[in-house]
Structure 1
């Protein structure tokens, strides 16, 4: 584990560092001001991040505004994020919109629209049965009549004051925002995720039973090209599935004349399997055509491959050679946690919600990936107590402390719901990592 050398600094800096790992973990609720609207300015040549370290605004500044809204993205940019993350799903008329899932009852007011009551449906997506309303059964114009709401109001009650105010955003609108806010030497990137690509391309059906048949990867690249947003320094493309990333690298991007970095997301290493593996094995698809000889790099082949199989050195080497530039593991898979005997009230609000402690074990994926020259961007740092943990030596850990720990372990960036905390952690990490002469 890398460790920092802390020089003698002013007491204020030391106090900030100690606060990162002290009790009272969750940051107090803040309402940062809404930033002004910037004017477009071409600055595509400027680098992103600092010293190779980036801050990725997870669904925007979703700790302060309802997720995946232009207002959440705009605030994240104002707070200093380098990348904003849009999750992409498709509409009935083939437009890409920004929602965490294609089922939208948890993040919009669709249930309050009687004109759409008949579109409520039950579908099984990636093996999970869901009842609600789905983007593929609405045109873009219809979705634009809905308004966003806070997804986890029990955790983020302050965000509910924005319920009903913000529209569903399109990918084109997110790109336009990133362009407009790139000014004065600063460049904003986007980090899109294709959500359920097998569902949209092969398995899913509209409410009337007709197949969806939309390639999210092709739609994404077509949109990026059409909008002139193809600088590889400004775009990472991520997915929990494997086959669609390979198709992007092997077919879709070369055909479009672009080459953007791809990031393999990971579910739970031991329990989860990329859904496209499950679907293609079940339907008897031509695995060699889809995956090449990836199966030879996995003990037991694709038929026994969990996400954990994709953490092994041979698999990682194959992935780097054929499609990936980076990896996106869960922070709890990367840094193992164990349950506490009893939950703690770490932030003093009268509710005991901190439930785990780090074991001290860091999964070897991190070292293997860094040795291969891969980027590692874990998800998701969040400031609220239910998402936090203790350090291995029993100190209640804040989001700032967690971010410092991740940078210290060697990751090049992370997804965070409160981008201002990520930016503060990077600043502190870089400042306090400098070795100063010892006073005599």
Structure 2
């Protein structure tokens, strides 16, 4: 097998589409995680309710000034049958009803006439509750009638702002729907207006469909209403009478968006008040959202913004690679500083986000101080929305400092898609770095981003990475610490051999686009590289995919997983490392048989008579470690979908020569441990399956200890053992 990577062979598919073609393909890809409307709607929740008393004409005026697309009206009905705009069924929260009518508890709207309600002050409460936004002119504002609200909005923007009207508690107010439709008819808004109707009440929406089938209707959902429901079945059912869904933001996940969009339903979550939350939901593909802060969302939609978080990676003692993605073509500006407030001198770097890389950028920052925490922030110019992160540089070569890292993989497969809990538990450990050990996506599995797998175009692969980046925990971990990302099979297609798989170039481009990978690793597409953490640890990253022979080929001296050049490089790294721990990141296990009979995917052959593993090549590695007496070699991987800790005694002298640490899955099918291949003398120290998990390691060079833990997705320790460092 040639030692050169064969990804650029003329016989292979090439990724050479123009930026325009790639952008068009991305726009047309099969993902449901994108809006099904032309423009994402800004819905002013109770008006500009962060700045003025909710459901007053002043709140509507400010919302219109802030470029909201819709102003929301919540309807209640008075004792004398008039529709008024008010959120609560009672008057005491947002008016002075208790003072004016002290003996009429509980101050229900239905118990008051319109004339009585008109005596109330609907503005002063806001000045008391929110003194930072108080205005003396708010005192004395009135509760508007539906007609007053319609006339005000129509006059203020001459029909450019739509009305988003909710029937609140319609079971309390018989005839509410008929009165609403009659009012809309009088103002010629049924056929000639921009009106959306909404309700938590299915009965009310069905009635509204009968009364005015022309108007769109949105079924609102609380978290309790969707608990334990199959959203696909639920949204198919409601599509008989609804044209959209309005879920609380807490339940927004890819499956909900997919279920809605596949049933032709728009998605307008509530109530979203920070730009971080807005960007998070925009990454899921919502069609609009309710917000108290219309100005923040309108500003976000008007300019480019960082759409899927930031990341840092491939950190050394003097450099790091920074990553970010914009939602459109723009210049992304990075600022880097030792000071989290960025008041100290900062380094600024700009990089153009363009279509041919799906608007992702990477910049390398050099000249950094060793063993130092750095802070960075990124924004897509001329936008002002900023995303921040941090990383810690490696100690200088020769120094020995304690080290904590986490590792894991298998994310987004077999129907398990965001959100993933494990990333939050990883971040809570404050690791020095995160080793993402492969299967960072499942490009060949069905998910909302690629409902018709396998991914067979670069935009499909991009969509998979974006889908996993909708996970808030993953974004948080990537922004909190640095990452060394490696690929395995599902970054392309199950059990692939890079030189022989036509999809390899597509998967490789997307992997390099979406992970902060240094030029040293990405040049020549080699992906293998070594990183030192002082003299505490040398991290030796292998590329187990790009050079491998077909899995079905018989094992023997000519069968390779690494290629001659990479194998010799590995020997050199092991022999000349003076670090306390030599950590070899391999994306496939040693003695756990993977793949299938007749086409093994890991090093092991497995069953007797099935000689299709890569044991001949690994024996060279094993013999090299033993013969050179290289101490404290640890192989770390995922891939198997269960956790296992194994030590090896290939010489049979009763002394462990190297160890293997296996974790996972973070979010994929959960497997169970099986029989180990005996070739290299494995001793199973721990094995457990059937749960989501990750690994954590602590190296204490001063006390010559190496501790490994397997933790479940909540952070609970299932296994812990400390090994002495020889």
**Contact 1:90-1:96 within 8 A present in 2 as well:** yes
The CA RMSD over aligned residues, in Å, is 2.7
Question: 1: CA distance between counterparts of 2:160 and 2:43?
Answer: 13
**Contact 1:79-1:420 within 8 A present in 2 as well:** yes
SS of equivalent to 2:157: coil
CA shift, 1:373, in A, is 1.8
Question: 2: CA distance between counterparts of 1:233 and 1:372?
Answer: 25
Name whichever structure is richer in helix by fraction: 1
Name whichever structure is richer in strand by fraction: 2
Q: 1:225 to 1:374 in 2, by over 3 A?
A: same
CA shift, 1:160, in A, is 4.4
Q: How does 1:213-362 map to 2 (within 5 A)?
A: 214-231=174-191, 234-249=194-209, 251-253=210-212, 259-268=214-223, 272=224, 306-308=225-227, 312-320=231-239, 322-334=240-252, 362=253
Higher-Rg structure is 2
Question: 2: CA distance between counterparts of 1:168 and 1:100?
Answer: 11
Question: 1: CA distance between counterparts of 2:126 and 2:250?
Answer: 20
Partner of 2:155: 180
Are residues 1:189 and 2:162 paired? yes
Q: 1:262 to 1:311 in 2, by over 3 A?
A: farther
Q: 1:179 to 1:161 in 2, by over 3 A?
A: closer
Q: How does 1:13-412 map to 2 (within 5 A)?
A: 51-113=38-100, 116-120=101-105, 132-149=106-123, 156-162=130-136, 164-183=139-158, 187-200=160-173, 214-231=174-191, 234-249=194-209, 251-253=210-212, 259-268=214-223, 272=224, 306-308=225-227, 312-320=231-239, 322-334=240-252, 362=253, 364-382=255-273, 399-412=274-287
Question: 1: CA distance between counterparts of 2:53 and 2:179?
Answer: 25
Question: 1: CA distance between counterparts of 2:228 and 2:197?
Answer: 22
Question: 2: CA distance between counterparts of 1:415 and 1:108?
Answer: 23
Q: 1:429 to 1:174 in 2, by over 3 A?
A: farther
Question: 2: CA distance between counterparts of 1:365 and 1:78?
Answer: 32
- Alpha-carbon displacement from aligned partner over 1:348-398 (angstroms, at most 9, x marks no partner): xxxxxxxxxxxxxx252111111222100000012xxxxxxxxxxxxxxxx
TM-score (norm 2): 0.36
Q: 1:196 to 1:375 in 2, by over 3 A?
A: same
**Contact 1:93-1:139 within 8 A present in 2 as well:** yes
Partner of 1:419: 294
Question: 2: CA distance between counterparts of 1:369 and 1:438?
Answer: 30
**Contact 1:150-1:159 within 8 A present in 2 as well:** no
Structure 1 unaligned residues grouped into runs of 5+: 1-6, 8-49, 121-131, 201-213, 273-305, 335-361, 383-398
Question: 1: CA distance between counterparts of 2:192 and 2:247?
Answer: 21
**Contact 1:68-1:169 within 8 A present in 2 as well:** yes
Question: 2: CA distance between counterparts of 1:309 and 1:232?
Answer: 40
CA shift, 1:151, in A, is 6.1
Q: 1:171 to 1:429 in 2, by over 3 A?
A: farther
CA shift, 1:332, in A, is 1.2
**Contact 1:67-1:151 within 8 A present in 2 as well:** no
CA shift, 1:400, in A, is 1.3
Structure 2 unaligned residues grouped into runs of 5+: 1-18, 20-36, 307-325, 330-353, 358-726
